[in-house]
């Protein structure tokens, strides 16, 4: 085997965040950039010698070339086997499942999640550990440290691996196993949900549209919904993955999934609608004329999970990220189970899942999951909703009305100010943090501030502490505002403002969210001086 040793120099800015390393595609295509980070992954985990990995991505631009580079680097470092999805394709939850099912030493996932794809858009890479979940902060810190000191890497010199045919081939002395990216995942879903009931649901005339957004879940949804469950052909829309996601933004929310929302609010709307994102780990749920917020979706799934065979024995507990609305907390209280509040980032849920403390978890950013994998899982959430609809035999709107009547309603919205100049965004947060101690007891927009803090999390499993996780402002009566800077963009900073107000039944449960949250929205601008500090008159995206 011919192995080349390539001299390189450290590249600044290669610091992975909670979702791995995301940069522009052209950055990753730059000289040694991808190679430096992959070499740092191998270095951080103690080398690749004799190890087995899972490899695949969401099919965005540069995915195919990056897979070939990583295979040759793994071969040069002495890896024994790499299991790769056919064509280099694997959804993030499917990769997590393969890591766990095959007992591998981890996996490398290529994706920038819901960010746009293309040569002028974004690319990403992350390492998932043997439990199938994202690398912990201690490991990503090692990766970053190595990128600042790297002086060279090794790569096998040879032809590309044929990833078009299933079966085993080789890359140097390393075995490359090309697998059907959908088969193992579909088998897992069949073990969790009542596929007989779902087949009967569609056979009875139930209608649905699933928007794959030209992204990775197209083949998964087509196989499961149309072929295995018998949904009519065409149920899956935009089902062919595209390197640039059809020129769209593969983020499943009403702003970007406009085509689906037009269908669901039209005169011939189907009974149920759903969408997933670039790498298949997020979801959007819509009923006929009824959009379900991710926070409400998590609460509904927790309240009804036992209707699905995989969760018939009940839930050990639930967890949500701190910015997610507290709707699921009410469900947990009624069920007599623990509800955990964690920082944003699926790795924090992983510890709770591995320890058996929780069964379901979710984030307001359209991510929901359970203990079946260690990632959020968009199509899984859709199938659980379908199982609930099949058992309860009522509409999405009726399920939501019943849920709010039972548990009360947490009105909720997220305002995103995208690509804010980094200096301005940091100045806003610094100013906000400096005034936290003075906020309790003050009256803002006619409502008294009860508490204000910078959220910190003490992990109940490993004892680690995570600070600086977002500013919380809590009002008397249960209203809440959360301010965070997101690390998922590649240009500037995204300021996320989370707005929540609690309403007990029976009145006031069916108001438009923007109307119900009007006072809290005004309070957020007054407290943080968003317009003054950013120059923005309104958010770029409202969810």
CB atoms under 10 Å from CB of 118, counted, come to: 17
The tokens describing 203, both together, are: 């056979």
Exposure b/e, 219-254, CB count within 10 A at least 16 = b: bbbbbbbbeebebeeebbbbbebbbbbbebbbbbbb
DSSP SS3 for 147? helix
Is the preceding omega at residue 506 within 30 degrees of 0, hence cis? yes
User: What is the set of active-site residues?
Assistant: 113
Distance CA 246, CA 259 (A): 13
The helix (H) or strand (E) run that includes residue 178 is: strand 174-179
The tokens describing 116, both together, are: 């746009």
Q: The tokens 């390492």 sit on which residue?
A: 127
Residues 6 or more apart whose Cβ sits within 8 Å of residue 44 = 127, 139, 142, 143, 146
Is the preceding omega at residue 31 within 30 degrees of 0, hence cis? no
- Helix-then-strand count for the chain, H and E: 18, 27
The tokens describing 509, both together, are: 């449960």
CB atoms under 10 Å from CB of 18, counted, come to: 17
How does DSSP classify residue 249? -
The tokens describing 77, both together, are: 């470092």
Q: Are the C-beta atoms of 486 and 492 separated by less than 8 Å?
A: no
Q: Are the C-beta atoms of 237 and 212 separated by less than 8 Å?
A: yes
Q: The tokens 């394709």 sit on which residue?
A: 89
Q: The tokens 């991808």 sit on which residue?
A: 34
Q: Are the C-beta atoms of 284 and 253 separated by less than 8 Å?
A: yes
């Amino acid at each position: 085997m011919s192995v080349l040793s390539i001299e390189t120099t450290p590249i600044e800015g290669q610091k992975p965040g909670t979702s791995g390393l995301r940069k522009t595609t052209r950055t990753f295509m730059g000289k040694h950039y991808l190679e430096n980070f992959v070499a740092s992954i191998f270095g951080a985990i103690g080398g690749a010698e004799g190890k087995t990995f899972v490899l695949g991505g969401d099919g965005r631009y540069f995915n195919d070339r990056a897979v070939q580079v990583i295979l040759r680097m793994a071969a040069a470092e002495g890896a024994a086997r790499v299991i790769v999805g056919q064509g280099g394709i694997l959804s993030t939850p499917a990769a997590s499942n393969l890591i766990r099912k095959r007992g591998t030493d981890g996996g490398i996932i290529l994706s920038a999640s819901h960010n746009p794809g293309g040569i002028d858009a974004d690319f990403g890479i992350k390492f998932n550990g043997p439990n199938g979940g994202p690398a912990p902060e201690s490991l990503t810190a090692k990766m970053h440290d190595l990128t600042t000191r790297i002086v060279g890497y090794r790569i096998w010199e040879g032809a590309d691996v044929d990833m078009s045919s299933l079966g085993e081939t080789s890359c140097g002395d390393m075995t490359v196993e090309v697998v059907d990216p959908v088969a193992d995942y579909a088998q897992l879903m069949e073990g969790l949900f009542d596929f007989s009931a779902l087949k009967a649901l569609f056979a009875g005339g139930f209608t649905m549209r699933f928007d794959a957004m030209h992204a990775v879940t197209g083949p998964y949804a087509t196989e499961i919904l149309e072929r295995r469950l018998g949904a009519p052909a065409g149920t899956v829309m935009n089902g062919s993955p595209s390197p640039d996601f059809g020129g769209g933004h593969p983020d499943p929310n009403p702003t970007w999934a406009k085509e689906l929302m037009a269908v669901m609010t039209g005169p011939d709307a189907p009974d149920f609608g759903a969408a997933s994102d670039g790498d298949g780990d997020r979801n959007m749920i819509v009923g006929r004329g009824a959009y379900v917020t991710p926070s409400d979706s998590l609460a509904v799934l927790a309240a009804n999970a036992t209707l699905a065979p995989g969760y018939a024995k009940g839930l050990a507990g639930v967890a949500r990220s701190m910015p997610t609305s507290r709707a699921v907390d009410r469900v947990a209280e009624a069920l007599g189970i623990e509800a955990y509040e964690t920082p944003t980032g699926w790795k924090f849920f992983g510890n709770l899942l591995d320890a058996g403390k929780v069964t379901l978890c979710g984030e307001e950013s359209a991510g929901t999951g359970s203990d079946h994998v260690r990632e959020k899982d968009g199509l899984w959430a859709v199938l659980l909703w379908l199982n609930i609809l099949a058992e309860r035999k009522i509409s999405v709107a009726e399920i939501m009305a019943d849920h709010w009547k039972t548990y009360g309603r947490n009105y909720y919205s997220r305002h995103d100010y995208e690509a804010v100049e980094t200096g301005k965004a940091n100045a806003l947060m610094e100013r906000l943090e400096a005034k936290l101690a003075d906020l309790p007891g003050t009256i803002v927009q006619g409502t008294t501030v009860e508490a204000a803090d910078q959220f910190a999390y003490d992990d109940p499993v490993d004892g680690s502490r995570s600070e600086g996780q977002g500013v919380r402002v809590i009002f008397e009566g249960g209203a809440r505002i959360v301010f965070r800077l997101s690390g998922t963009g590649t240009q500037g900073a995204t300021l996320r403002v989370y707005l929540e107000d609690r309403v007990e039944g029976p009145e006031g449960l069916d108001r438009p969210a923007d109307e119900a949250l009007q006072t809290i929205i005004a309070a957020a601008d007054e407290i943080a001086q968003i317009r003054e500090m950013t120059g923005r008159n309104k958010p770029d995206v409202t969810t």
